[in-house]
Amino acid sequence: MGSLHILSLLLCSVFLAKCYSHDDFLHCLSKYPETNITKNIYTPDSPTYSSILEYAQKNPRWLNSSHPLFIASPRKESEIKPVILCSKNVGLQIKIKSGGHDYEGLSYRSESPFVLLDLSNLNKVKIDLNEETVWVQAGATLGQLYYAIAKKGKVHGVSGGVCFSIGTGGIISGGGLGALMRKFGLAADNVVDAHVMDVNGKILDREEMGEDLFWAIRGGGGASFGVILAWKLKLVRVPEKVTVFTIHRKLEGNRDLLQKWQNISHQLPEDLFIRAIIQNGGSSAGNNSKKHVEYYLQALYVGHVDELIPLLNQFFPEFNLTRKDCFQETDNSEKECYEVPWSGSVLYFYGRKTNESLEVLLEKNIPTQKSYNKGTSDFLKTPIPESGWEMIERLFLEEERPQMILDPFGGKMDEISESEIPFPHRKGSLYNIQYLVYWGNNSESISSQKIAWMRKLYKEMEPYVAKNPRTAYLNYRDLDFGTNQEDYSYSNAKIWGEKYFNGNLERLAKVKSKVDPSNFFRNEQSIPPYQSSYY
């Protein structure tokens, strides 16, 4: 008997359950020939397995973590049912990937044998301009959704995220912050119907799933309850031209402007969204300037330049923004401005040129160099005082590539009840902070150093952020929030779940008990069933 065959038998003896699951899973799938799903199942021996997995792994921190036994890449919704039923039968987990950030990699890694359900081929977009709605399959990226809407005309948009490479299945099920949220609410606030496949492989629409499950998937994390197949969203009316602009400043000597932004950004007219981004400047290659911390205020005004200028003269005369600035008649490194179609604003917020081809929105290329990163989040109910900005500046100067993104609330966000959907961060929240730190070398020492720095910043921010509980945004998941991957109980989930959902956690767990009592759809921060001892 060959040594390779002996080794294979030994491995199967040690990992009997995994070998058994492997063979049984394929045998089970073969019982559903009408779906053709076996043609879209990939193993580590398949030529395209690595490329599919690499595309899924947006954060390279997890490149060497556990890999799926199988990748299922269905091309029809009907192909998903056998994957669910066969995974249950042989004891495999399912991880659902629609193509976004997923900072902690929960949609493509697990300590248990698992199947990666890759939804990227389910990416159809169907627009009804008469009804002013759009159906979008969960594997479509925001870019594909934005592209389809832009191709239909210039007077419709949709409330969604800034990074258009994100999959719609995930971002909408977690809430969906974006530049239009002060005007129209979150992406999840604009969902009017959905298609979900439940734990038994049945496809449910809003009427069939009932209002409790429909409530839960709009901000509670859809992957806890089933497989989100598609969303039906309200289209929103936008002018043929909107205005985008950016104001650049060094933090040192310009904290007064940032303080003013903190105090009034959530009180501005709902048509005006101004976010703040803080990062390091100087000391880059070819740049001999002294390292410093800088910020820029990046804005979208849902209207024309001539309407914007009087508003800015009223609220932010310090910007000194003129009509000439917005038609590229000036060259000023401290400010820039453009009047563009809504689709141009989408490109602008993603760091692309406003006049680039809309085909940019369809890009799904795998970056040749991915940045390792660690992220987390907070919500603030009071402005950060001077001492807080001094601390942030000091810690930023200790790091090479830190970043804070501050998205203002108010407007429509204040008008929606904190229990309307699971996302509870409404009236009283001034803004959300997304913290990020990036690095290029994933050696153990460097990664540990960067993560330790992020944890230090998060701890130092504690006096300035929301309390009881300290809150966070589900789509910026952080496993530092007391997660125990061996404990899927409701009592353990309260440790992190109240950060994301506040008082909505209990209702989410009760919905979970009804639709998935055995907790088949799970990850380290999924909603668990509500234990009977807590009723």
Rounded to whole angstroms, the Cα distance separating 523 from 102 reads: 12
For the chain, first and last CA: distance in Å? 59
- Would residue 488 show up in a list of annotated catalytic residues for this protein? no
Nearest to 362 by CA among 144, 157, 153, 211: 144
Residue 185 backbone zone (phi > 0: left; psi -120 to 50: alpha; other: beta)? left
DSSP 232: E
Distance of CA 196 to the CA centre of its chain: 19
For residue 42, the surrounding DSSP H or E stretch is strand 41-42
Rounded to whole angstroms, the Cα distance separating 142 from 136 reads: 9
| Strand-pair partners of 71 | 42, 116
Nearest to 186 by CA among 141, 235, 219, 231: 219
Residue ranges in 115-205 assigned as alpha helix (H): 142-152, 168-174, 181-184
Q: Which of 146, 458, 476, 500 is catalytic?
A: 476
DSSP 476: G
What's the angle, vertex CA 418, arms to CA 106 and CA 533, rounded to 5?
Answer: 65
User: At which residue do the structure tokens 């899927």 appear?
Assistant: 488
Sheet holding 125-128, edge to edge: 125-128, 133-137, 227-234, 191-197, 203-204
Coil, helix or strand at residue 69? coil
Sheet holding 70-72, edge to edge: 41-42, 70-72, 114-118, 93-97
Rounded to whole angstroms, the Cα distance separating 204 from 375 reads: 34
Strands (E), 209-291: 227-234, 236-237, 242-250, 272-281
Rounded to whole angstroms, the Cα distance separating 423 from 173 reads: 10
The packing angle between helices 505-515 and 490-501, to 10°, is 130
Rounded to whole angstroms, the Cα distance separating 501 from 444 reads: 33
CA torsion angle for 351, 357, 362, 364 (degrees, to 10)? Answer: -60
Coil, helix or strand at residue 534? helix
Provide the sign of the torsion angle of the four alpha carbons 405, 61, 368, 151, taken in this order: negative
Residues with catalytic annotation?
A: 476
